[in-house]
Amino acid sequence: MFALIDCNNFFVSCERTLDKSLENVPVAVLSNNDGCIVSRSQEVKNLGIPMGAPLFKYKKIIEENNVRIFSAKFELYNYKSQQVIQTVSSLIPDYEVYSIDEIFFSLNGFERFFDLENYCREIRKKVKDTTDIPTCVGIAPTKTLAKVANHIAKKFPQKFDGIYTLDTPEKIEKALKWFEIEEIWGIGRRLGAKMRDAGVNKAYDLLQKPEMWVKQIMGIHGTRMVRELRGIPQLVLEEAPSAKQSIATTRSFMEMITEKEELRERVKSFSFACAEKLRRQNTCCKKITVFVHTNRFRKELGVYYGALSYTFPNPSSSSVTISKAANLLFEAIYKEGISYKKAGVIVSDFVPDNERLISLFEKDVEQKHIPIMKAMDFLNKKYGRDKIRLASQSGKPNYERKILSPEYEKFLKNNTLPEANFRFH
């Protein structure tokens, strides 16, 4: 048997761990530029505000219902996610971190010694006691059915107390006859519309189609999905995610930027963020890429995409070295008279700090920078983000998050867990 534990309204639940007054009141969390709603409490969902809704479109409803709005706190979400992972992994040997708020795990062999629902209830309780994050658990013979079971547990929290098990053919059939086709793991809206055109409205309808038809529409992935829905395991728990091959800091701007120095400041701040992430995972990069581009939805303002890469003679994680390279690349790709909507910095080709190979023909300035960078990181970890910074840094955030609570600064000072191996945005 497989199980899926999923954190309820994860970003909102994280906000409530900082401020207990947010319990049982409508709360929404915004995207990194405060533009769209990316997490909603149940109270907000009941108001009819959809996922990904632009904030300005629902401003009236938000004001009328006293919805509490917050900018995203990605460091907090990383911290709480890793707490959940650590708690679950202390009770389950075989697990897979599927996303920031979802963990699959195997219950094979547990049925000999435990009632599976009771054991999962203990896991939920320990997660809540340890992290203060509420969860739901779905239990089933396959990972795809565990997703279905988890959805049911979330949909009817009072009826099933946060846990639902699909353990008999009768229960599986009943669930799939109720389950909308778009909600199946891996289907989505676009493919769901195609399915509905073919008369497949519920998950159960998909099982009535010939396997050849499914393979024609969805390929081998579709046939595996159908077998999973029949209770025949096709997907195994995946190993821990491999080390990152690149680090990207990119942002779409709330308002288009026309001033060169303002855009340069953004690009340099992105490079500082990439360098800090490199040092956090004890690696250096060999390559840096900088890009800028216009708004693809406003072609009347001009279309331009500029990108350029540079390979360092010696691998680096120094904010000084990486920001200098980013600035040179920016100068090469920048064009006057253009309104820019997005920019970013990507570093890649990593090597561990202790395996740096130095070019015989280039001076290695990294040795001078390493102790400075370490001291800067230590002080920022102790006293708060960007309290100590380079003279070329303005100290302004590299993305626009204006609705932050006072508790957040306190949290940042105490965040000691390493960066997660998944992306938030």
pLDDT at 354: 78
Residue 238 three-state SS = coil
Tell me the chain's radius of gyration from C-alpha atoms: 24
pLDDT at 137: 97
Are the C-beta atoms of residues 85 and 97 closer than 8 Å to each other?
yes
pLDDT at 169: 94
343 — pLDDT class (breaks 50, 70, 90): very high
Burial classification of residue 75, based on how many CB atoms lie within 10 Å of its CB (0-12 exposed, 13-18 middle, 19 or more buried): middle
pLDDT at 168: 94
pLDDT at 254: 72
Mean pLDDT, residues 75-86: 89
- pLDDT one-digit tens code per residue, 99-153: 999 999 999 989 888 999 999 999 999 999 999 999 999 999 999 999 999 999 9
Multiple choice CATH, 8-74, 3.40.1170.60, 3.40.50.620, 3.40.630.30, 3.30.530.20: 3.40.1170.60
pLDDT at 233: 93
Is the backbone of residue 393 left (phi > 0), alpha (psi -120 to 50) or beta? beta
Q: Across the chain, which distance is largest between two alpha carbons, in Å? A: 72
Residue 186 three-state SS = coil
Multiple choice CATH, 249-394, 3.20.20.10, 3.30.1490.100, 3.20.20.70, 3.40.50.1110: 3.30.1490.100
- pLDDT one-digit tens code per residue, 349-375: 999 887 777 766 666 667 777 788 888
Mean pLDDT, residues 6-29: 93
| DSSP state, residue 185 | T
Q: What single-letter amino acid sits at 237?
A: L
Q: Confirm whether pTM is higher than 0.85.
A: no
Burial classification of residue 189, based on how many CB atoms lie within 10 Å of its CB (0-12 exposed, 13-18 middle, 19 or more buried): exposed
- pLDDT one-digit tens code per residue, 22-42: 999 999 999 877 788 999 999
pLDDT at 425: 36
- pLDDT one-digit tens code per residue, 178-211: 999 999 998 888 888 988 998 999 999 999 999 8
pLDDT at 414: 57
Residues 6+ apart with CB under 8 A from 13: 7, 80, 132, 133, 134
Q: Give the distance from CA 214 to its chain's centroid.
A: 31
276 — pLDDT class (breaks 50, 70, 90): confident
Domain ranges of the chain: 8-74, 249-394
Are the C-beta atoms of residues 127 and 5 closer than 8 Å to each other?
yes
Beta bridge partners, 247, equal 347
d(CA 417, CA 331): 36
pLDDT at 141: 95
Are the C-beta atoms of residues 288 and 271 closer than 8 Å to each other?
yes
| DSSP state, residue 180 | B
- pLDDT one-digit tens code per residue, 291-322: 999 987 777 878 899 999 999 988 899 989 99
Residues in the chain: 425
Mean pLDDT of the chain: 86
pLDDT at 360: 64
In the predicted model, is pLDDT for residue 419 greater than 80?
no
